[in-house]
Chain A
Amino acid sequence: MRKIIAWVLMVTLFLTPVMGCAPKQFIPYEPPAVEFERTPQYEGIDFEAIPKPKKIKPVFVDENFKEVPAEEAKFVLLVPKEYAKVAAVVKLAKTYKQLAQEQEVLINTNVDIINSLKEYVALEQMKAKEYRRLWADSENAYRQERYQHKLDNAINKGFAATIAIGAAVLLAIIAL
């Protein structure tokens, strides 16, 4: 008899902490951290860094190639130094065209980045909605479980009380 009592006590002592253990902790999904560096402001083109030729000084000549005022001139003569200015202007025009084209590329790249970021925001919103739905589902499951637990407790307590009262009444009747 003592052995049985000792065994029952040991088993009870062993089971109490096991049954009292909290359920496994829920570890939520950790999304990878995403960080974008700030894009610096566009400095723009430094036009001062591109040399501009001074105004062309042509020599106005008539049909005999004699220097005359501009109003009477038939032809224009340019010394090599002045003609080089024409070449410089052509180069300048070509440069401006290249700059405009490259800026167009830069603008479109930035437009692409903006559109990608918009897409990213939309995906983040989708994810937030999904997280909210999961949260609501968990909350509802928890509420349902709590309600069922309360109901079970109430029913069990009610019947236990009824049976205890019934037993007491029965004992009283027998005793009388």
Chain B
Amino acid sequence: MNAAVVIIGSIAGLSLLAALVMWITGRGSKKSDILKAIHEATQDKGKKKVEEITKKEKVVEVNIREKEKLATESRNKIKDIQKKAAAEIEEVLKEDNLKKIQDEIDEDWDEL
């Protein structure tokens, strides 16, 4: 009986000791929580920064697309100037009324 009590007592004592040691040496949840919080804060901060940069990129992208439209408009305008000039020159070359010719010269001269 005594031997059984000693064995059970010893096992219980050792188990308690084991639990105590593991509790002391084991990593506390606080440390883990702090590391997690730091990691999450860093990730959140980074994510916000990336989102801010993406917003700035969006502004630049819109700017580029607007400029591309302007460039296309400019190209078309150049073509229109060519066409208009071709028609006007053809017309003036056919003109034989001196007054009209002089008016044309006067009008265009100021824009030279």
Contact = CB atoms under 8 A, between A and B. Distances in A.
Contacts of B85: 50, 91-92, 94-95, 98
Interface in B72-112: 74-75, 77-78, 81-83, 85-86, 88-90, 92-98, 101-102, 104-105, 108-109, 111-112
Interface in A32-74: 32, 34, 36, 39, 42, 45-46, 49-53
A134 interface: yes
B104 A127 contact: no
B111 A97 contact: yes
Interface residues of A, number: 69
Interface residues of B, number: 64
A7 interface: no
Contact of A134 (B10, B46, B83): B46
Nearest to A83: B101
Interface in A97-149: 97-99, 102-103, 105-106, 109-110, 112-113, 116-117, 119-120, 123-124, 126-127, 130-131, 133-134, 137-138, 141, 144-145, 148
A76 interface: no
Nearest to B56: A123
A90 B112 CA distance: 8
Given A106-B75, A116-B64, 4 more contacts: A45-B82, A83-B98, A103-B78, A134-B43
23 contacts: A45-B82, A51-B86, A83-B98, A83-B102, A84-B92, A84-B95, A88-B93, A90-B112, A99-B81, A109-B67, A110-B71, A113-B67, A116-B67, A134-B42, A148-B32, A152-B27, A156-B26, A159-B22, A159-B25, A163-B17, A166-B14, A171-B7, A171-B10
Interface of B: 3, 6-7, 10-11, 14-15, 17-18, 21-22, 25-27, 32, 35, 39, 42-43, 46-47, 49-51, 53-54, 56-58, 60-61, 63-64, 67-68, 70-71, 74-75, 77-78, 81-83, 85-86, 88-90, 92-98, 101-102, 104-105, 108-109, 111-112
